[in-house]
Amino acid sequence: MATSETMGKAFGNLLGGRFRVVKTIADDTYGQTYLVEDTIAAAMPRWIAKSFCLINKTNLQLDWARSLFHNEVPKLQQLSERSTDFPKITTYFEQEEDFYIVEEAINGTRLSEEIATGKLYSESELIHFLKQLLTSLHTAHANNMVHGDINPRNLIRRKNLRGGEQSNSSSDRHFVLTNFAVLKGIYATAAQNGVILGTPSYMPFEQALGHFTPSCDIYALGLTAIQLMTGLHPSRLLRRADLNLLDWQMGSAVRPELASILNRMVKHHPENRYQTAQEVLFDLDNLPVSENVNDFQMPTLAIGQNARRWAIALVCLAGISWGALNFHQYFPKLALPVLTDKPTATVAPTPQPIVLTYKLQLNLTGHTGWVRAVAFFPNGFSFASGSYDRTLRLWNVRDNQSFGTLSNHLGSISGINAIAVHPNGSTFATACIDKSVKLWNFRSGKPIRNLEGHEGQVYSVAYSPDGKTLLSASADKTIKLWNWRKGDLLQTFVGHQDKVVSVAFDPDGKRIASASFDKTIKIWDISTSKEILTITGHTAPVNAIAFSPDGKLIASSSQDQTVKIWDASTGKIIRTLTGHTGGVLAVAFNRDGSAIASGGTDKAIRLWDIKTGEIVQILSEHEAPVLSLSFSPKDSTLVSGSADRSVKVWQLKGK
């Protein structure tokens, strides 16, 4: 608690020679918070001034505090300039051996005040809340800032935008992250004074020991979300020893898939927790679609059977969906023979099923985050993997090892969503969370350039068959065509109503296909940028698409748990492949087009016979959702990337 002497200095004086104190808003262990008015600029006359005071103002303590202050506050100021998710910092300074930050006075309501009314969040409200806060945390973490004190008191819902402009919708009135814990370290080091930076009820055990990581913020946000759903303060939650879970679900009607995400956010051991905000966002985006999430009902099957299913759902990775969704299945109609007096043509024999027997050849480790992308190079034995750990790895199947790791991804801190390889193998491109496409030289492993222009993260990239152009698909609902050598934007394709997550060239390079969370697939003319065809039939977001090697078929995978095969010319359904018990996240044709592989949240890879639609084999070695698949262009080798952080290489037995 600050002394009366310290408080008395501020009243009636100017702070920083500019800001006059109007009143004291708060007084705590670390210092005081004042409402101040700007005596120079009239545009925003009222600001908040926060002071941070030292207990012992020795030269050593002052030097340490100055170093912390001048290292960390500029980072916060940069954050505040980039995003309205953080209070705008106008200036900072030292005065009489105390340290001050002057930031905007946010017109809004603290989340703690909303909680005090007793209102509980619905699932849809909670998902919206989590997505907004996780996006804010991703921005902070990408700039090497951990909040360290997420709790309802430090989250303020804006009532108006910066500059006094009124918000037009409830979604605009988003939460602002205030009071980063790192600045409280100016007060004293925890080791010297036993001060814990953060709020004990909302922090994981490792933070109390002085370890600040992004997963600490994820833990605190998870506890806050549980409080919004249940009304239970974290101090009232008990941790169950049997499942290492907080016992919060009793009496709660939350879906098991969402409960699984929340449970992983608040795991006791940090290595079992989500490591990045982007991983949580991915699982939230891939929650099974329901007609109304607030009307979710418990299934009415046999009690014993469902009790087992619910127990499994609680310990599965986030996003695993076992419940059946309403989806339509389509099968080709068989034409009846026409009777004539003329000799009939020889009836084609029934297609014989292909025989594939894959075995796990290699289990490649090294990534510390989800492996979102894998792609072979034209030589057939080298491939690349991209991860949310912000690295790109190059592998050699023949030598069973990685021969290159590209860290920090061109100096920026960004995860990788997809990889595309140039037809001659000389370069490759990565689709990035930071809204850019990055181009690389294969031989040197060095960056070539960035392609920037999307307003949302880039989910997919694809080179044209002649290698002259590159496609990118983004959360901003657009597809862009680039001259990648010059870095010029050639065309923008607009038409989808939601994020575009997959894009592909047909083999002749004249058309492209795109898949979107709006549940559609669109075919476009590359020369005119015009939409040729919209394909509908999936009942949930479409996650991935692929052209067959001859360009006659399109395979699509969806959150509705199906893979569909379409006629690429007409858009008519040929076959629906069922068998997955969760959203299907990846799909790929083998090199001769006789089979496809699909993988998803049920952790399995399924191999399908294109002609019969039958499952040929199920590969179940992954321990988490399968996120990416790629067949070798030279042989039958299959590579898979997973949320279990591994890359697996599969080969036919006897090869």
Least confident segment among 30-34, 91-95, 316-320, 472-476 = 316-320
Residue 265: inside a domain: yes
Q: What CATH number corresponds to the domain at position 558?
A: 2.130.10.10
CA-wise closest residue to 397 among 592, 591, 588, 647: 647
- Last residue within a domain, chosen from 285, 301, 332: 285
The residue length of the chain stands at 655
Tokens found for residue 128? 């919206």
* d(C-alpha 292, C-alpha 234), whole Å: 28
**pLDDT attached to residue 184:** 62
What sign has the CA pseudo-torsion 151, 152, 153, 154? positive
Weakest-pLDDT range from 242-256, 340-354, 582-596: 340-354
Q: How confident is the model at residue 252 (pLDDT cuts 50, 70, 90)?
A: low
Same domain (yes/no): 462, 607: yes
The pLDDT-based confidence of 55 (bands split at 50, 70, 90) is low
| Least confident range of 119-128, 285-294, 551-560, 626-635 | 285-294
Residues 80, 126 share a domain: no
Quick one: pLDDT band at residue 522, thresholds 50, 70, 90?
Answer: very high
| Residue 465 buriedness (CB in 10 A; 0-12 / 13-18 / 19+) | middle
Residues 190 and 235 in one domain: yes
pLDDT of residue 562: 96
Residue 159: pLDDT over 90: no
Q: What percent of the chain has pLDDT over 90?
A: 45
Q: Is residue 214 one of the residues assigned to a domain? A: yes
Sheet containing 615-619, strands listed edge to edge, beginning at the edge strand earlier in sequence = 584-589, 595-600, 605-609, 615-619
Tokens of 234: 């974290």
Least confident of 167-176, 278-287, 646-655: 167-176
**Helices H / strands E in the chain, number of each:** 10, 39
Q: How many CB atoms lie within 10 A of CB 411?
A: 9
Model confidence band, residue 539 (pLDDT cutoffs 50, 70, 90): very high
Which residue shows structure tokens 């689709």?
431
Residues 123, 215 within the same domain: yes
Whether residues 63 and 127 share a domain: the answer is no
pLDDT at 408 over 60: no
CATH of residue 12's domain is 3.30.200.20
Does 116 lie in the same domain as 91?
A: no
- Higher pLDDT among residues 413 and 608, named by residue: 608
Does residue 523 register a pLDDT over 50?
yes
Q: State the sign of the Cα–Cα–Cα–Cα dihedral 127, 644, 373, 539.
A: negative
Task: Report phi then psi at 338, rounded to 5.
Answer: -95, 125
CA 287 and chain centroid, separation: 12
From CA 583, how far away is CA 244, in angstroms rounded? 26
User: pLDDT band at 220, cuts 50/70/90?
Assistant: very high
What order do you get walking across the sheet with 478-483 strand by strand? 458-463, 470-474, 478-483, 488-494
| pLDDT above 60 for 430 | yes
Task: State the pLDDT confidence band at 590, using cuts at 50, 70 and 90.
Answer: very high
Q: Which of the four pLDDT bands, split at 50, 70 and 90, describes residue 407?
A: low
Confidence of residue 474 (pLDDT cuts 50, 70, 90): very high
**Tens digit of each residue's pLDDT (9 = 90 or more) over 99-157:** 888 988 888 999 999 999 988 999 999 999 999 999 999 999 988 889 999 999 999 99
Specify if 390 maps to a domain: yes
Query: Does residue 348 form part of some domain?
Result: no
- Please report the pLDDT score of residue 128 as a whole number: 94
Q: Indicate whether 357 pLDDT > 60.
A: yes
Is 438 in contact with 432 (CB distance < 8 Å)? yes
Tell me which of 244, 261, 285 is where a domain ends: 285
Residues 383 and 486 in one domain: yes
* Residue 335 pLDDT exceeds 50: no
Last residue of a domain, one of 232, 255, 285: 285
Work out whether the CA dihedral 252, 253, 256, 258 comes out positive or negative.
Answer: negative
Report the pLDDT value the prediction gives residue 356, as an integer from 0 to 100: 74
Specify whether the CB–CB gap between 105 and 13 falls below 8 A.
Answer: no
Q: What is the mean pLDDT of residues 41-66?
A: 75
578 and 461 co-located in one domain: yes
pLDDT at 496: 97
Is residue 585 scored above 90 in pLDDT? yes
Say if 204 falls within a structural domain. Answer: yes
Examine the domain organization and report whether 264 and 206 are in the same domain.
yes
CATH number of the domain within which 184 lies = 1.10.510.10
Q: Is the pLDDT of residue 272 over 70?
A: yes
Give pLDDT, residue 630.
97
Predicted local distance difference test score (pLDDT) of residue 402: 60
What confidence tier does 351 reach under pLDDT thresholds 50, 70, 90? low
CA triplet 479, 644, 145: central angle to 5 degrees? 70
Does a structural domain hold residue 295? no
Domain coverage including residue 115: 109-157+174-285
**pLDDT tens digits for 553-568?**
999 999 999 999 999 9
449 pLDDT above the threshold of 60 = yes
Confidence band for 304, pLDDT divided at 50, 70 and 90 = very low
Q: Binning pLDDT at 50, 70 and 90, where does residue 545 land?
A: very high
Residue 335 lies in a domain: no
What is the count of structural domains for the chain? 3
Considering the domain architecture, whether residues 116 and 78 belong to the same structural domain is answered as: no
Residue 285's pLDDT is what? 85
Asked, for residue 484, whether it belongs to a domain, the answer is: yes
Of the ranges 3-17, 349-363, 539-553, which is most confident? 539-553
- If asked whether residues 144 and 270 sit together in one domain, one would say yes
Tokens of 420: 């595309």
pTM listed for this prediction: 0.58
> By the 8 A CB rule, do 551 and 543 touch?
no
Same domain for 254 and 367? no
Query: Is the model more confident about 324 or about 550?
Result: 550
Mean pLDDT calculated for residue range 617-635: 94
